[in-house]
Chains A and B, each alone.
Chain A
Amino acid sequence: MTPEIAVLLAQDGITTGAIYVLVALGIVLIFLSTRVIFVPFGDVVGYAALTLAALQLKRIPGTVWLVLTLAAIATVVEVYGLTRRHQARRIPQALLYYAALPVAPAATAYLAAGYDLPMWAGIPITFAVVLPISPLLYRIAFRPLADASVLVLLIVAVAAHFALSGMALVFFGPEGFRTAPLTRAFFSVGPMTVSGQSILVVASAAVFGLLLFLFFERTLNGKALRATAVNRVGARLVGIELSNTAATAFLLASALAAISGILIGPITTLYYDSGFLIGLKAFVGAIIGGLVSYPATIVGAILVGLGESYASFWNSALKEVIVFGSLIPILLWQSFATRGGVVEDVEEEEGESRT
């Protein structure tokens, strides 16, 4: 390997790593505030990329139908629940959140499909269409199980993943898509060339990472989200509604997924099931961070991107094996270093929430 190639691979690795950072942050965000390991998160990323690709091909993205289905189910569940609890006056608000807000962007996408959309229109539409997917899934599948064990939540998450990726096959077919590049610019920095695309990706990851940090540090809602992660009983005792923080977490994570999908679309060819793999690699990054710390998650996700990039140079057929194989020593090291800290914390918390 020559130094030039090493630099090139590093650049590649950091670019994909930056996207894994966004995805991994979403996974950790959801896990910490709801104890759900949100397996379908990668699928949502895939949906974002494929939605943009479909719009660019002037097709109606299948995501529209997914959102409409989810919105319909969530609305029925919510309205039924409210009626049973005699809270009919909250129905209009429920209709706004679970029907009107998710359906509006889907309808826009439906109407816009077929026109030659400029980038500045396609990207926001994609973002808005994908945004409601995770919160709606939360309302349908996870909110009714708020007190269930981590394992039950994981099983439901796996089921949701199979449902989403199955539907993606129906909506988008088995062929691969790649969206138009966000920019074709190249810059030369000394002896190496850096693509504008890479810079854009890394800059976006940095900006959204920073925004997330500010949200957690500076806003009351962000603090409430952290508080819920630290102590669920304590959070309830100060009046934090756990279902609200969970919905916020899913919404924010969904935004991260949509952004990641839009960013990764032009970099690799994506199939209906590629999103899951992206999610899995980001999950490896999150595991390196122990699923508890945002800064460690960022480091972990970038390591995964770099590892993947170099692994594909040595043996591209085995790159996934190398990335996922590296998980084993990491897990071993973590279980020795912390004696299963995360698991213990979670179990302890469950015990607390029962008392």
Chain B
Amino acid sequence: MTTLLSVEDLHVSYGKMEAVSGVSLDMQAGQIVTVIGPNGAGKTTLLSALMGLLPCKGRSRYESDDLTALSTEERVRRGICLVPERRELFSDMTVADNLILGAYTRWRERRAVQADLDEVFRRFPKLAERRRQLAGTLSGGEQQMLALGRALMAKPRLLLLDEPSLGLAPLIVREIFRIVVGLRELGVSILLVEQNARAALETADFGYVLETGCVVHSGPAAGLAHDPRVIASYLGGKVEPSS
């Protein structure tokens, strides 16, 4: 397996306040990696920095390139795509236009984009019904689906997901995790930030636990799911006494 993304000693600050302090993280191609942690741990900040939306210090490489040298737009063109916590949809534009703009960097491949549009509509029939509706008038859950659909339209190779299941009904949450697993089969790597730690660790190959800007635990997801400290803080279960 090849290393797709490797981040070393990343620091991100808002003014004087450091929100991410010295995070190191590795992702193999075709892996699902999850980052869990309490509110305010710096998960969103980490993803924004990886997308180039926030200035940061530290080394990061994507494939064989220095990531820090690339602008956000160049990262999108290289196949990195973020579904942000705040969705950042084009609220005054239709659902269909939002999706078409998701494929903005692929303007050369008209036919393929049309096929992908149909594919997204097939995955989210709710969006197909509302393709002429303005994105800003969709319900919270529908906006969530649209944000994910828009990211899929870019055909990402590294997808950064910031709480994709937030505010969604259980049935749709399951559909989202199914999509995530399906994407891995297509060779897409996914960095998944989730409040739903149990589902995230069940889906992921590798996990990191972030607290106040630092990685406190990391390891194969299955291992983390059985780590007593992680269970106590994030999975809400009792620590089973080790025999």
Contacts and interface: CB of A to CB of B under 8 A. Distances in A.
B105 A239 contact: yes
A234 B89 contact: yes
Interface residues of A, number: 18
Interface string B37-62: 00000000000100101100000000
18 contacts: A220-B104, A223-B100, A223-B101, A224-B101, A227-B97, A230-B90, A231-B90, A234-B90, A236-B53, A236-B72, A237-B72, A237-B81, A238-B101, A238-B105, A239-B77, A239-B154, A355-B53, A355-B54
A240 interface: yes
Contacts of B90: 226-227, 230-231, 234-235
B92 interface: yes
A223 B97 contact: yes
A233 B104 CA distance: 14
A220 B93 contact: no
A345 B159 CA distance: 29
A236 B73 CA distance: 6
The list of the 7 closest CB pairs from A to B, nearest first, reads A239-B76, A234-B88, A239-B105, A230-B90, A236-B72, A227-B90, A238-B104
Contact of B88 (A220, A233, A239): A233
A235 B150 CA distance: 11
Nearest to A232: B88
A44 B187 CA distance: 53
Contacts of B154: 238-239
B89 A231 contact: yes
B105 A230 contact: no
Contact of A231 (B53, B82, B88): B88
B93 A237 contact: no
Contact of A238 (B76, B86, B91): B76
Nearest to A229: B92
Given A233-B88, A237-B82, A241-B73, A227 B53 contact: no
A220 B109 CA distance: 13
B93 A227 contact: yes
B101 A227 contact: yes
- Specify the main secondary structure of chain A where it touches its partner: helix
Given A220-B104, A239-B76, A239-B77, 20 more contacts: A223-B97, A226-B90, A226-B92, A227-B101, A230-B91, A231-B89, A233-B84, A233-B88, A235-B90, A236-B73, A237-B72, A237-B82, A238-B101, A238-B104, A238-B105, A238-B150, A239-B73, A239-B154, A355-B48, A355-B54
Interface of A: 220, 223-224, 226-227, 230-231, 233-241, 352, 355
Nearest to A86: B69
Contacts of A226: 90, 92-93
B99 to A, nearest CB: 10
Nearest to A224: B104
B104 A239 contact: yes
Contacts of B93: 223, 226-227, 230
B102 interface: yes
A235 B82 CA distance: 12
A283 to B, nearest CB: 22
A226 B154 CA distance: 19
Contacts of A240: 73, 101, 104
Nearest to B92: A230
A226 B98 CA distance: 11
A224 B93 CA distance: 11
B53 A233 contact: yes
B109 to A, nearest CB: 12
A120 to B, nearest CB: 35
Contacts of A233: 53, 84, 88
Interface in B61-118: 72-73, 76-77, 81-82, 84, 86, 88-93, 97, 100-102, 104-105, 107
Contact of B107 (A220, A230, A231): A220
Contacts of A227: 90, 93, 97, 101
A58 B225 CA distance: 83
